[in-house]
Amino acid sequence: MAGRKAELHYLEQCYHQSGNQLLVLYGRKENGGDEILQEFCRGKKSFYYYAPETSAQAQLRRMGREIAACFQTTLTEESYEHYFKRVKSGDASKLVLVIDEFQHILKKDGTFLESIVKLKDKKLYPGPVLIVLHSTSVSWVEQEMMQAFGASGKKVTDVTKIKELRFLDLVRAFPAYSMREAVAAYGVIGGAPEYMRQWDGEKSVRQNICDLVLARDGFLHGKAEEAIKSELRELSVYHAILEAMAAGNRKLNGLYQETGFSRAKISVYLKNLMAFDVVEKVYSFETGGWQNAQKGLYQIKDAFLNFWFKFVYPYLSDLRRLSPEEFYEKHIGAGLEPYLKRYFVKVCMEYLELQDLVHKLPLHIHKMGTWVGKKGNIDIIAQNSVRENLICLCSWDEPEMTFEMCQELFASMEQAKITANYYYLFTARTFEEKLVKMVSGDSRIVLVGMGEA
């Protein structure tokens, strides 16, 4: 499975361990946890059950029917304990038992968890078993699950979050794309496997946006509202906050002035959005110039939601009135390039991480981040364990990276009160000839032309 070797390797390791294991896997629906599990189960003795939202009794009967069909057995009572006595691999191999969206059972029937624990402890099925509980309810898993588990939480072998794919995985998925096209696609759909499958790498980014996002029958046309609605209520409030944030209001006070909601109310809703992985708080890299850094900043974390609330949601009347191509020209075309700068910085961070893995950087990265100042920013600060710094400048939509841009970086470093042991200068286009000559021979400075990658 493309881009999911690490997750599949992890599951295989658990499978081959002796004894029984109880794993919890979770992540947003778009990240494809269910597909990872289907791939993992291929060729193994397994039982997979998807738990829909229904009553406790209907859920119990539904699983009973599927247990009976899968294992060709007759059930004499309706209980999870009885069901798990009937599961079997048929030989000495380990059985894989997957319960998808398990929270829909656990919230309504405490006997389910009791029976899962007994199964793990070999009190029901005597053979080896790997139990995988999967959920797409990120906020519930991270905030409520362990309380719901109670003392049984000690029986959980591991809890693993399935995250979106990396930029490198997107590049591999669309080999015909140039670096700039790949960054543009990444800025629209992020690394969500579900969205990447719908994206046509043989078409331009513009055409994909028109076909998938702007067209009424496009796969992504209603996905933003659908994603929020799946976990959150009072959509009108969340929509207003996200639209204001996408428009550049990144502080609590700016959101208050734009939406009219009280600061206390906005804080609660931001907390919910962060729990759902939609919004994140921006923390500047810790430097000596803390008083010059901006604090209390928020941004939309999810790439597609950011794109939707930046370019589409504010103009829903035009979305219905104009053709997709007309809408793109009017509301997206001119603003897309500056919007993508943030995603180019993420791409450069991933480049550094990969270089670090193969020991091709002048220092080993201990931590990495950005610095957002009241006067100027530093795109990337990578620091090792003895606080040596690699400072990066990322030029995305400028025609060329110039020495003047480097001087602006130096000014920001003064504000941040940080020095550099090394510099990496990234550009998606070209370097000014004057800059190339000035840094030639200086081993501390590396020029990285990402447009050629």
Band the pLDDT of 229: cuts 50, 70, 90. Answer: confident
Per residue in 10-46, pLDDT tens?
999 999 999 999 999 999 999 999 999 999 999 999 9
Amino acid 3: pLDDT:
78
pLDDT band per the 50, 70, 90 thresholds, residue 453: very low
| Share of residues in the chain with pLDDT > 70 (%) | 99
Mean pLDDT value of segment 152-165: 96
Please tell me the CATH superfamily of domain 5-161, with its number: P-loop containing nucleotide triphosphate hydrolases (3.40.50.300)
Residues of the chain with CATH 3.40.1350.10: 344-452
Asked if the model's pLDDT at residue 1 lies above 60, the reply is no
- Does 280 score more than 80 pLDDT? yes
pLDDT at 452: 54
What does the pLDDT look like over 168-214, one tens digit per residue?
999 999 999 999 999 999 999 999 999 999 999 999 999 999 999 99
State the CATH architecture for 344-452. Answer: 3-Layer(aba) Sandwich (3.40)
Task: With a cut of 80, say whether residue 444 has pLDDT above it.
Answer: yes
Q: Per residue, what are the HEC states of the chain? A: CCCCHHHHHHHHHHHHCCCCEEEEEECCHHHCHHHHHHHHHCCCCEEEEECCCCCHHHHHHHHHHHHHHHHCCCCCCCCHHHHHHHCCCCCCCCEEEEEECCHHHHCCCHHHHHHHHHHHCCCCCCCCEEEEEEECCHHHHHHCHHHHHHHHHHHCCEEEECCCCCHHHHHHHCCCCCHHHHHHHHHHHCCCHHHHHHCCCCCCHHHHHHHHHHCCCCCCCCHHHHHHHCCCCCHHHHHHHHHHHHCCCCEHHHHHHHHCCCHHHHHHHHHHHHHCCCEEEECCCCCCCHHHECCCEEEECCHHHHHHHHHHHHHHHHHHHCCHHHHHHHHHCCCHHHHCHHHHHHHHHHHHHHHHHCCCCCCCCCEEEEEEECCCEEEEEEECCCCCEEEEEEECCCCEECHHHHHHHHHHHHHHCCCCCEEEEEECCEECHHHHHHHCCCCCEEEEEHHHC
* Stretch(es) of the chain classified as CATH 3.40.50.300: 5-161
Residues of the chain above pLDDT 90, percent? 95
- pLDDT (tens digit per residue) in 390-432: 999 999 999 999 999 999 999 999 999 999 999 999 999 999 9
Q: Does the predicted TM-score (pTM) go above 0.95?
A: no
Between these two residues, 451 and 299, which has the higher pLDDT value? 299
Instruction: Tell whether the model's pLDDT for residue 451 goes beyond 80.
Output: no
